[in-house]
């Protein structure tokens, strides 16, 4: 059948380039492989030249694929499955890229692009390591290229073709029986980007995270190159900037995800030990372990074997994480993971084709990797750095095994799941690791390589230790950490960890002065450690003291759900214009408004007034409704920043405010006595009785409460009851309003009027009173976490610059030597 109005050419071009990139990366891999194993310099040069050309073609092809996708998305060619599924006409242009990497195939493309960029840098800079390193890189490029291939071989689907047409994917759908299917309304627009993802973080977080993911291959490739060329210890200095770069970017990407989750998603926190979060944390931990052993080897000659192991394992973990998050295995345990897209075998193979060769090579050459027989002295820096790396590694093993439960379940009969408190299962372990890491971070910098004398250590670390002890005692006493939810043991651990974290900050800050004499250029590591310590402090504070403010203590109709009394009531309902009691605050829902018709964002204006009058502020939490198809809603929180804490609030439910334009009705006050009748537009209200100290509100002995029992009889002779309460609690008047929503009535017991009368406020709205249900948290000291993160990143960059300079000096001096050495080597090999 000839279909009308399709644009098939871009798809053909795009797919051609996807196939070309696969072929080119394969040729490049072979060529670089041959170059690595070449016997003469001339042979090596020829193969390398071919490798470079093939790699260059690959880079061009990959970018051509990217531009073709951008073209079809921005041209709104909805006949393409990719465009139809991930974009829509209403999508603002700045989310165009976001919708590309939202997709499974698009995020693989992003990975490929970064691999190309890193590869291009390596071709220019890697020098004699180019051939083996690029063999690994091009092999990875080849593997990732298969992910966007989308061809069928023996009935198996290899990769997802981003240029597949919707009618090719949904072959069964009846509308494709028509040649003019593109004129149908459902083909006029796409599904759009999920409302949840329409956020500037979605534009920036994935590229950074994927740069981190992609860059982990470089230290891995150097390690493989070292084993392969049997030049075991020669690459560690020049590859150190790469390890730093990778740890820096991956860490930044992870923390950006945390910031995104905290800032604009209603996950109510920045870290939840979700499997997808863990999957990127684990390689980072191992990378950091490898980074430390690599530094140790460069300085002392110890820990080379460990360096190999860590740098290989971190990349295998990256691949394994990719498998976990993209195969759909985590479907029942993670909120973020992709659903199964039929690529499980391919993703599994992706792990194995790296895992087996890498570890086999490592094991085969293990004995030949040089090591120093004499043990590290237990007062030496290298010894404790190694211990720290070991702890990081074991932590990562704990996290990854716990995260892999769904994979373990595949092989088991009795399926296991996490307990109903999964975060505590991690926290109770990680808290002790935080103690150990904090202490090691604090002390190890003061140790010298090889051996440290006791006097030196005491002299250097004495003052920081005292300062840290004093600070942490102050924090423990006045910081208000009283997190006894999990018993005293856990609370003690929190205090210990707090000390360790403070110690890490103080000691490293002191080291910049005393150890490095303020020589900032070389102090990157100490700066990063200060940042790390601050992060720990921020994490401990904000998690241990996170508080739900929106306890529904005096909301409306308290007794509706009798079972919920023992449970936390985290949401509070606010009626429009009704000032409601929320613990330390009065809150009023002022207005709900649609601001941007394109994104369908709806802002809710909520006023917070501190009861002691010290502060009033407005928050505008909003939510986004996706315009198309499934009515998705995504709540975006709003925060008020105190310098030492955030008040964090988001909408959990609301009615449609569009129906209530101009509802400005206020409570009208009626002085009534028992038996009196008040008329309203649709009937009458009778005050039946006033109950003194009603039992169900559990007031204390010193408090007084009155509950008015009202009967509402509407014109259609329906009866309703309402029981607003007025109470005095510790000299403060409190109101518990009641509503009869069927009649659009709200009641407030304003107090006692003279002459046995009570003051009853009645509010009758034209339509149902708009409301929002809202959740409010207080996160103390959250800023310390973000500041710490930024300082850590700065520290990474500082040491990256410093180490790069060192490596460059090394390359220059080695370069002249290497040429002679190498030609001698070839001569010998040839003979």
Partner 1 sequence: MKKVQIIILVAIAVAVATLISFMGNLSTYETIASARQKPGKTVTIIAHLDNKLPIEYDPVKNPNYVSFHITDTLGGTAKVVYHFEKPYDLEKAERVTLKGKMNGDVFEISRKDGILLKCPSKYKDDPNAAKKELTQN
Interactions with partner 1, residue window 734-773 (CB under 8 A): 739, 741, 771, 773
Q: Does 102 bind partner 1 (CB under 8 A)?
A: yes
Question: Which one, 560 or 643, has the nearer CB to partner 1?
Answer: 560
Closest contact distance (angstroms) between CB of 83 and partner 1 is: 13
**How many residues belong to the chain?**
831
Closest contact distance (angstroms) between CB of 391 and partner 1 is: 7
| Among the listed residues 72, 103, 286, 807, the single contact to partner 1 using CB under 8 A | 103
337 to 366: interface string for partner 1, x by CB under 8 A: xxx-x-------------------------
Of residues 491 through 530, those in contact with partner 1 by CB under 8 A are: none
Question: Which one, 414 or 612, has the nearer CB to partner 1?
Answer: 414
Of residues 415 through 444, those in contact with partner 1 by CB under 8 A are: 415-423, 425, 429
Closest contact distance (angstroms) between CB of 632 and partner 1 is: 5
Query: Which residues have a Cβ under 8 Å from the Cβ of 243 and sit 6 or more positions away?
Result: 219, 287, 290, 291, 294, 311
Q: How far is CA 622 from CA 324, 552, 555, 602, 765, in A?
A: 33, 21, 22, 5, 24
State the Cα–Cα distance between residues 542 and 519, nearest whole angstrom: 33
State the Cα–Cα distance between residues 634 and 820, nearest whole angstrom: 64
Closest contact distance (angstroms) between CB of 130 and partner 1 is: 36
Question: Which one, 142 or 747, has the nearer CB to partner 1?
Answer: 747
Q: Does 601 bind partner 1 (CB under 8 A)?
A: no
Nearest to 669 by CA among 610, 726, 717: 726
| Among the listed residues 158, 211, 272, 282, the single contact to partner 1 using CB under 8 A | 272
Question: Which one, 330 or 502, has the nearer CB to partner 1?
Answer: 330
150 to 169: interface string for partner 1, x by CB under 8 A: ----------------x--x
Of residues 60 through 89, those in contact with partner 1 by CB under 8 A are: 85-86
Q: Does 486 bind partner 1 (CB under 8 A)?
A: no
Query: Which residues have a Cβ under 8 Å from the Cβ of 208 and sit 6 or more positions away?
Result: 249, 252, 253, 256
Closest contact distance (angstroms) between CB of 315 and partner 1 is: 22
- Assess contact for 267 and 260: CB atoms under 8 A: no
Select the span of 96-104, 207-215, 474-482, 813-821 touching partner 1 (CB under 8 A).
96-104
Q: How many residues bind partner 1 (CB under 8 A)?
A: 88
Say how many CA atoms lie within 13 Å of 372 toward its Cβ.
17
381 to 410: interface string for partner 1, x by CB under 8 A: --x--xx--xx--x--xx--xx--x---x-
| Among the listed residues 248, 507, 528, 635, the single contact to partner 1 using CB under 8 A | 635
Closest contact distance (angstroms) between CB of 370 and partner 1 is: 17
Closest contact distance (angstroms) between CB of 527 and partner 1 is: 28
Q: Does 197 bind partner 1 (CB under 8 A)?
A: yes
| Among the listed residues 4, 173, 345, 360, the single contact to partner 1 using CB under 8 A | 173
Question: Which one, 422 or 751, has the nearer CB to partner 1?
Answer: 422
Widest CA span in the chain: 119
CA–chain centroid gap for 489, Å, is 29
Of residues 320 through 339, those in contact with partner 1 by CB under 8 A are: 331-339
Instruction: Judge residue 562's burial from the number of C-beta atoms within 10 Å of its C-beta, 0-12 exposed, 13-18 middle, 19 or more buried.
Output: exposed
Q: How far is CA 795 from CA 215, 525, 529, in A?
A: 19, 6, 8
Tokens matching residue 433: 């690791």
State the Cα–Cα distance between residues 340 and 338, nearest whole angstrom: 7
Q: Does 660 bind partner 1 (CB under 8 A)?
A: no
Question: Which one, 660 or 775, has the nearer CB to partner 1?
Answer: 775
Query: Which residues have a Cβ under 8 Å from the Cβ of 646 and sit 6 or more positions away?
Result: 639, 640, 778, 779, 782, 783
Of residues 528 through 587, those in contact with partner 1 by CB under 8 A are: 552, 555-557, 560-561, 563-564, 567-573, 575
State the Cα–Cα distance between residues 330 and 448, nearest whole angstrom: 45
Select the span of 15-23, 293-301, 411-419, 794-802 touching partner 1 (CB under 8 A).
411-419
- Assess contact for 588 and 565: CB atoms under 8 A: no
Question: Which one, 170 or 819, has the nearer CB to partner 1?
Answer: 170
| Among the listed residues 1, 363, 414, 675, the single contact to partner 1 using CB under 8 A | 414
Q: What is the DSSP secondary structure assignment for residue 448, as one 8-state letter?
A: P
Of residues 3 through 62, those in contact with partner 1 by CB under 8 A are: none
Question: Which one, 268 or 469, has the nearer CB to partner 1?
Answer: 268
| Among the listed residues 633, 665, 728, 752, the single contact to partner 1 using CB under 8 A | 633
Tokens matching residue 489: 């043991």
Q: How far is CA 817 from CA 370, 789, 805, 813, 823, in A?
A: 22, 42, 19, 7, 10
Q: How far is CA 236 from CA 38, 302, 585, 801, in A?
A: 23, 12, 58, 16
Handedness of CA 736, 740, 746, 747 (dihedral sign): negative
Closest contact distance (angstroms) between CB of 443 and partner 1 is: 16
Helical residues (DSSP H) of 515-655, grouped into ranges: 524-544
Of residues 302 through 321, those in contact with partner 1 by CB under 8 A are: none
């Amino acid at each position: 059948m000839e279909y009308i109005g399709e644009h098939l050419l871009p798809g053909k071009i795009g797919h051609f380039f996807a196939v070309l990139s696969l072929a080119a990366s394969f040729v490049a891999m072979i060529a670089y492989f041959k170059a690595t194993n070449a016997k003469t310099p001339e042979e090596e040069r020829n193969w390398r030249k071919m490798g470079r050309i093939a790699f260059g073609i690959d880079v061009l092809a990959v970018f051509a694929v990217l531009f073709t996708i951008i073209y079809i998305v921005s041209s709104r060619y909805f006949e393409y499955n990719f465009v139809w599924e991930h974009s829509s006409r209403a999508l603002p242009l700045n989310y165009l890229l976001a919708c590309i990497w939202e997709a499974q195939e698009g995020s693989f493309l992003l990975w490929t692009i970064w691999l190309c960029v890193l590869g291009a840098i390596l071709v220019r800079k890697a020098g004699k390591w180019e051939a083996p390193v690029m063999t690994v890189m091009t092999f990875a490029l080849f593997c990732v290229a298969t992910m966007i291939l989308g061809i069928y071989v023996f009935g198996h689907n290899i990769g997802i073709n981003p240029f597949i047409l919707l009618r090719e994917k949904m072959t069964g759908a009846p509308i494709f029986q028509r040649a003019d299917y593109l004129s149908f309304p459902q083909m006029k627009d796409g599904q759009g980007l999920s409302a949840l993802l329409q956020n500037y973080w979605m534009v920036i977080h994935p590229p950074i995270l994927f740069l981190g993911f992609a860059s982990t291959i470089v230290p891995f490739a150097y390690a493989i190159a070292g084993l392969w060329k049997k030049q075991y210890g020669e690459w560690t200095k020049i590859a150190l900037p790469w390890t730093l770069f990778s740890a820096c970017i991956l860490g930044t990407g992870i923390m950006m995800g945390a910031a995104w989750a905290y800032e604009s998603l209603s996950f109510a926190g920045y870290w939840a030990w979700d499997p997808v979060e863990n999957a990127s944390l684990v390689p980072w931990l191992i990378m950091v372990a490898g980074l430390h052993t690599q530094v140790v080897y460069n300085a002392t000659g110890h820990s080379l074997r460990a360096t190999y192991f860590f740098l290989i394992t971190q990349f295998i973990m990256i691949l394994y994480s990719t498998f976990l998050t993209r195969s759909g295995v985590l479907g029942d345990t993670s909120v973020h993971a992709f659903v199964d897209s039929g690529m499980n075998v391919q993703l599994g193979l992706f792990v194995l084709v790296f895992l087996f060769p890498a570890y086999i090579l490592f094991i085969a050459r293990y004995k030949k990797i040089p090591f120093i027989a004499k043990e590290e002295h237990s007062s030496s820096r290298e010894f404790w750095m190694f211990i720290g790396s070991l702890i990081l590694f074991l932590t990562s093993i704990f996290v990854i095994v716990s995260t892999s439960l769904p994979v373990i379940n595949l092989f088991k009969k009795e399926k296991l799941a996490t307990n109903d408190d999964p975060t505590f299962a991690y926290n109770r372990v990680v808290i002790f690791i935080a103690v150990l890491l904090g202490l090691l971070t604090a002390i190890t910098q003061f140790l010298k390589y090889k051996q440290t004398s006791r006097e030196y250590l005491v002299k250097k670390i004495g003052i920081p230790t005292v300062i840290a002890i004093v600070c942490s005692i102050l924090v423990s006493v006045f910081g208000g950490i009283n997190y006894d939810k999990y018993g005293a043991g856990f609370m003690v651990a929190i205090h210990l960890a707090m000390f360790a974290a403070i110690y890490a900050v103080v000691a490293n800050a002191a080291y910049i002065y005393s150890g490095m004499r303020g020589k900032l250029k070389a102090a990157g590591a100490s700066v990063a450690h200060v940042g790390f310590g601050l992060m720990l402090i921020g994490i401990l504070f904000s998690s241990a003291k996170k508080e739900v403010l929106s306890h529904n203590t005096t909301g409306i109709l308290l007794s509706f759900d009798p079972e919920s009394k023992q449970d936390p009531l985290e949401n509070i309902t606010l009626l429009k214009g009704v000032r409601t009691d929320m613990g330390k605050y009065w809150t009023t829902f002022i207005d709900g408004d649609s601001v941007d018709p394109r994104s369908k964002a709806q802002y809710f204006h909520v006023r917070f007034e501190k009861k002691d009058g010290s502060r009033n502020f407005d928050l505008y939490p909003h939510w986004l409704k996706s315009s198309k198809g499934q009515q998705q809603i995504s709540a975006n929180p709003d925060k008020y920043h105190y310098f030492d804490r955030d008040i964090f609030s988001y909408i959990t439910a609301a009615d449609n405010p569009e129906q209530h334009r101009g509802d400005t009705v206020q409570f009208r006050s009626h002085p009534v006595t028992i038996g009196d009748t008040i008329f309203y537009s649709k009937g009458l209200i009778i005050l039946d009785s006033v109950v003194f100290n009603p039992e169900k509100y559990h007031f204390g002995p010193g408090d007084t409460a009155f509950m008015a029992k009202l009967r509402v009889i509407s014109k259609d002779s329906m009866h309703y009851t309402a029981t607003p309460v007025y109470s005095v609690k510790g000299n403060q008047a409190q109101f518990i309003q009641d509503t009869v929503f069927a009649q659009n009535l709200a009641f407030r017991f304003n107090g006692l009027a003279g002459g046995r009368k009570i003051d009853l406020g009645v509010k009758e709205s034209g339509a149902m009173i708009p409301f929002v249900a809202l959740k409010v948290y207080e996160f103390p000291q959250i800023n310390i976490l973000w500041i710490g993160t930024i300082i850590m990143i700065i520290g990474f960059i500082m040491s990256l610059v410093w180490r790069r300079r060192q490596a460059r000096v090394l390359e220059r001096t080695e370069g002249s030597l290497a040429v002679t050495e190498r030609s001698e080597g070839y001569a010998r090999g040839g003979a």
